[in-house]
Amino acid sequence: MRGLADEATGTTGARKTLQAVITALAVLAALALSVAACATGGTGTRDEGPAYGESAAGAVVATPSSSPPSAYGGRPDQADVVRIIKQDPQVSEKVKLALKPCVADDYPIDVSYGDLTGGASSDVVVNVVTCGDQIGVGSYVYREANGSYENVFATEESPVYAQIDRGDLLVSKQVYEKGDPVSRPSGENVITYRWTANRFTQTYFWHNDYGASVGDEPSPVPAG
């Protein structure tokens, strides 16, 4: 019986020795991880915050960039154009304050695209008009450069309207004599500008005189 007891005691002692070894190894592994974390100045996993382009919750956020939003795609939409105008220091505060939606999100602007300056992207011609009478209060040309749009032409001599004419910029300004109603100007000045030496230069000018009879209904012929 003593032999069996001694054998049992020996087995128990061996198990205790094995557990002690395992415990010691675990302690040594933990110490090694702790030392490594201290050496890198962190916690052993990620200590510098969320990865670039990710929020703390893991959602993707916008990456800072000097380029226009991808929504432009070389052709900014109405919302983009409104934002460009409101951020443009060359646009007067009077025009900016008047730039409000006429209905819902519909702003009083006419936008056209085309090649005026020979750039890599289409130039943007913007006319800001009034909601009721559609009278032009400002005309601007924006040219894409270095990932943003710069103002290369501006006129706020109302009423004014700009458009693209076979690669030239055509600006029309209605002329009012004293007493002329808004709906009937006396004439119109038309100016053509061409992009030369990195600026618009006037190339043509002409005046259209509407005359008093323009737009009038024909007078009835007396009977007999």
Residue 2 pLDDT greater than 50, yes or no = no
pLDDT of residue 23: 53
Q: Is 154 in the same domain as 202?
A: yes
Q: Is 18 in the same domain as 93?
A: no
| Tokens matching residue 32 | 């090694």
Q: Is residue 62 part of a domain?
A: no
Domain count, the chain: 2
* CA-to-CA dists, residue 180 to 167, 174, 211, angstroms: 34, 11, 12
Position 56 confidence tier, pLDDT thresholds 50, 70, 90: very low
Position 38 confidence tier, pLDDT thresholds 50, 70, 90: very low
What does the mean pLDDT of the chain come to?
A: 72
Q: Is 42 in the same domain as 128?
A: no
pLDDT of residue 20: 55
Q: Is 83 in the same domain as 135?
A: yes
* Separation between Cα atoms, residue 104 and residue 83, nearest integer Å: 16
What is the pLDDT averaged over residues 25-54? 38
What is the pLDDT averaged over residues 54-81? 47
Q: Is 36 in the same domain as 87?
A: no
Which residues constitute the domain of residue 190?
A: 78-209
Residue 53 pLDDT greater than 80, yes or no = no
Residue 166 pLDDT greater than 90, yes or no = yes
pLDDT of residue 75: 83
- How confident is the model over 137-161, as pLDDT tens digits? 999 999 998 888 999 999 999 899 9
Verdict on whether the full-model pTM lies above 0.75: no
Task: Give percent of the chain with pLDDT exceeding 70.
Answer: 61
Nearest Cα to 123, choosing from 152, 146, 93, 91? 152
Position 94 confidence tier, pLDDT thresholds 50, 70, 90: very high
Higher-scoring residue by pLDDT: 53, 189: 189
* Separation between Cα atoms, residue 53 and residue 41, nearest integer Å: 23
Task: Give percent of the chain with pLDDT exceeding 90.
Answer: 46
Query: What is the C-alpha end-to-end distance of the chain, expressed in Å?
Result: 155
Q: Is 51 in the same domain as 103?
A: no
Nearest Cα to 72, choosing from 174, 148, 142? 148
The residues that bridge with 191 in the sheet, in sequence order, are 171, 205
Q: Is 90 in the same domain as 189?
A: yes
Q: Is 122 in the same domain as 179?
A: yes
Residue 51 pLDDT greater than 70, yes or no = no
Q: Is residue 222 part of a domain?
A: no
User: Kind of pairing, strands 148-155 and 199-209?
Assistant: unpaired
Q: Is 193 in the same domain as 143?
A: yes
Position 73 confidence tier, pLDDT thresholds 50, 70, 90: low
In this structure, are residues 210 and 174 in contact, taking their beta carbons and an 8 Å threshold? no
